[in-house]
Amino acid sequence: MNGEDLRDEYVEALLDRISSVRYPSHEMIARAENIVYKREQAERLLRYLISTVDNVQYPSHQIMDRIERILFLYPGRPYKQSL
């Protein structure tokens, strides 16, 4: 197993954990936001975050900020350029 495989395994484990608990910690979500490096990973995290916003009457501004950081361009985050 090479380094990229291990990174993928870790990111997937983190995303699985986030999506499997009712209230994942903001620290765990922040960690995922900072380490996703493939388009598929970013899309999976975004789908989770957007569903969180869709399912409540008053969505968290923190979650909405995360969605916007992932969707809109920042230097050094190549997957954002193609979302």
Nearest to 72 by CA among 81, 63, 60, 62: 81
Conformational region of residue 23, where left means phi above 0, alpha means psi within -120 to 50, and beta covers everything else: beta
pTM of the model: 0.81
What are the tens digits of pLDDT across the range 43-69? Answer: 999 999 999 999 899 999 999 999 998
Q: How confident is the model at residue 39 (pLDDT cuts 50, 70, 90)?
A: very high
**How high does pLDDT run on average in the chain?**
88
With H, G, I as helix, E, B as strand and everything else as coil, classify residue 16.
helix
